[in-house]
């Protein structure tokens, strides 16, 4: 069975071009390439940005297919989702991958030849719960149905945290097999530089989950500037600009790494963040962390961050000010965050995915029984994060 790992030679992986899933997909594809596994990346949601295209170009042997198809969480997407499904089946027929790795839900119900897994990075229903404190409106009924169908048809479902897996189970039911595999970032690509008196955030300004607006409220009351890197253009149209913040715009991966290396503090008072790749990158870059006090971020960061209630701008201001006023505390918290971040490496992540790919390839009919109550007993960093 151990030798079967070598039989996983190719993976068809989907991604969107809108958020952090793209960064995750490229990082995983790079780690797979280092182990001799070729990735075919099928991108949906719109054209790649120059920064994304540059990142793809650095992955050895990666084959890229692009499409303009709307994503399942967008307004009235279902004609596009159906067309995207046919497109994905055509790609599979062409490249004949060993495993299909879906970073979206609805296409989990497609009849792929290869075994398929679905990764639950986030979802609309849990977003509404966390951000707006209410159930998603009836307009998302079909979304819920399609997500449920896709998850039920997958041989395995992965989430980056136990908190996100709990949300999946709550809204859509328990998968046939559930695993927690944390995301990762490469420590070699993200290192502390000469720190400046700057607070940084990375995230889409229009996404209420990131809660960048709270940083805009506290910025006038702090002695250091708060800079934000990310898009202010909503995919559905319109934009958001916060005048009290210094806008860096959309940066390349190298640009983000440079900004993080100089920032002394990274702040993201998120209301909803199932893992938080930008936070991981900040920690590896030597930033002290101020984060939203939500279960997923507590799970990932433990005592390596200062936590504030997302709606308490007074607490947010005090937490940032405490790090500004106390250089010793700032260095201590940055050191804790960097040590914690080094647990989440691409090597760890890819090994767990390769093990799962192997098991799906050789055990296409998995009948393991998973009990939700065991989720709380599973350590965040156990060998495979498996809930069984």
193 SS3 class: coil
Whether residue 367 is predicted with pLDDT greater than 60 in this model: the reply is no
Q: What is the pLDDT at residue 334?
A: 98
What is the model's pLDDT at position 252? Answer: 81
pLDDT of residue 372: 44
Question: Which is nearest to 26 in space by CA: 256, 284, 253?
Answer: 253
Burial of 7 (C-beta count, 10 Å sphere; 0-12/13-18/19+) = exposed
The Cα 283–Cα 243 span in angstroms is: 27
Q: What's the mean per-residue pLDDT of the chain? A: 90
Res 251: pLDDT: 86
What is the reported pLDDT for 238? 62
- Please provide residue 208's backbone torsions phi and psi, each rounded to the nearest 5 degrees: -60, -25
Lowest mean pLDDT among 20-29, 238-247, 332-341: 238-247
| 3, pLDDT greater than 70 | no
Q: HSE on the CB side for 368, CA within 13 Å?
A: 19
* Section 48-61 average pLDDT: 90
Residues 6+ apart with CB under 8 A from 36: 9
Asked if the model's pLDDT at residue 237 lies above 80, the reply is: no
Average pLDDT in the 16-30 region? Answer: 92
Strand (E) or helix (H) holding 60: none
Q: What is the pLDDT of residue 5?
A: 43
Given a contact cutoff of 8 angstroms between Cβ atoms, the answer to whether 370 and 178 are in contact is yes
pTM for this model (two decimals): 0.89
Give me the helices (H) in 285-326, please: 295-301, 313-325
**Strand 38-44 with 246-249, pairing:** unpaired
Q: Could you write out the DSSP letters of every residue in 9-62?
A: -EEEEEEESSSHHHHHHHHHHHHHHHTT-EEEEEEESSPPPHHHHHHHHTSTT-
Residues contacting 185, CB < 8 A, separation 6+: 27, 277, 280, 281, 284, 341, 344, 346
**Degrees to nearest 5, angle at CA 60 with 58 and 61:** 130
Domains and CATH numbers, the chain: 2-184+345-387 (3.40.50.2000), 187-341 (3.40.50.2000)
Helices (H) and strands (E) in the chain, counts: 13, 14
* 219 band by pLDDT with thresholds 50, 70 and 90: very high
Angle at 274 between CA 119 and CA 101, to 5 degrees: 10
pLDDT recorded at residue 254: 87
Instruction: Name the least confident of 138-142, 230-234, 334-338.
Output: 230-234
Residues with Cβ within 8 Å of 45's Cβ and at least 6 positions away in sequence, in order, are 16, 17, 18, 69, 70, 71, 74, 235
* DSSP code string of 194-241: S-EEEEEEES-TT-TTT-HHHHHHHGGGSSS-EEEES--B-TTS-B--
3-state SS class at 357: helix
| Predicted local confidence at residue 229, as pLDDT | 93
pLDDT by residue (tens digit) across 305-333? 999 999 999 999 999 999 999 999 999 99
Under 8 Å between Cβ of 338 and 286: yes
**Higher pLDDT residue, 182 or 383?**
182
């Amino acid at each position: 069975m151990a030798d079967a790992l070598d039989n996983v030679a190719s993976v068809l992986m989907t991604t969107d071009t809108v958020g952090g899933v793209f960064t995750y997909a490229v990082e995983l594809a790079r780690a797979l390439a280092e182990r001799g596994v070729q990735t075919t990346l099928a991108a949906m949601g719109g054209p790649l940005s120059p920064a994304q295209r540059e990142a793809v170009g650095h992955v050895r042997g990666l084959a890229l297919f692009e499409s303009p198809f709307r994503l399942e969480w967008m307004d009235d997407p279902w004609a596009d989702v159906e067309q995207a499904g046919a497109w994905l089946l055509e790609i599979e027929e062409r490249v004949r991958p060993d495993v299909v790795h879906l970073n979206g839900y609805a296409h989990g119900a497609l009849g792929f030849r290869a075994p398929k897994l679905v990764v639950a990075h986030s979802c609309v229903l849990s977003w509404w719960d966390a951000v707006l404190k209410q159930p998603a409106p009836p307009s998302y009924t079909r979304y819920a149905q399609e997500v449920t169908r896709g998850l039920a048809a997958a041989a395995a479902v992965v989430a980056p945290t136990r908190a996100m897996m709990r949300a999946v189970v709550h809204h859509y039911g328990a998968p046939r097999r559930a695993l927690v595999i944390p995301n990762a970032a490469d420590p070699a690509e993200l290192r502390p530089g000469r720190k400046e008196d700057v607070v940084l955030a990375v995230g889409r300004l229009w996404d209420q989950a990131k809660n960048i607006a709270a940083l805009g409220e506290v910025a006038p009351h702090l002695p250091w500037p708060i800079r934000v890197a990310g898009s202010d253009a909503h995919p559905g149209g319109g934009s958001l600009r916060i005048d009290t913040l210094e806008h860096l715009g959309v940066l390349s991966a190298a640009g983000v790494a440079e900004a993080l290396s100089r920032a002394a503090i990274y702040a993201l008072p998120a209301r909803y963040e199932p893992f938080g790749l930008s936070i991981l990158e900040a920690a590896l870059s030597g930033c002290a962390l101020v984060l939203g006090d939500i279960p997923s971020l507590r799970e990932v960061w433990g005592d390596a961050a200062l936590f504030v209630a997302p709606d308490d701008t007074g607490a947010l201001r005090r937490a940032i000010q405490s790090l500004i006023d106390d250089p010793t505390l700032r260095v201590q918290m940055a050191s804790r965050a960097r040590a914690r971040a080094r647990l989440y490496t691409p090597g760890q992540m890819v090994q767990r995915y390769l093990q799962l790919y192997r098991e799906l390839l050789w055990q296409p009919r998995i009948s393991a029984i998973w009990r939700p109550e065991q989720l709380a007993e599973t350590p965040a960093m156990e060998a495979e994060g498996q809930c069984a």
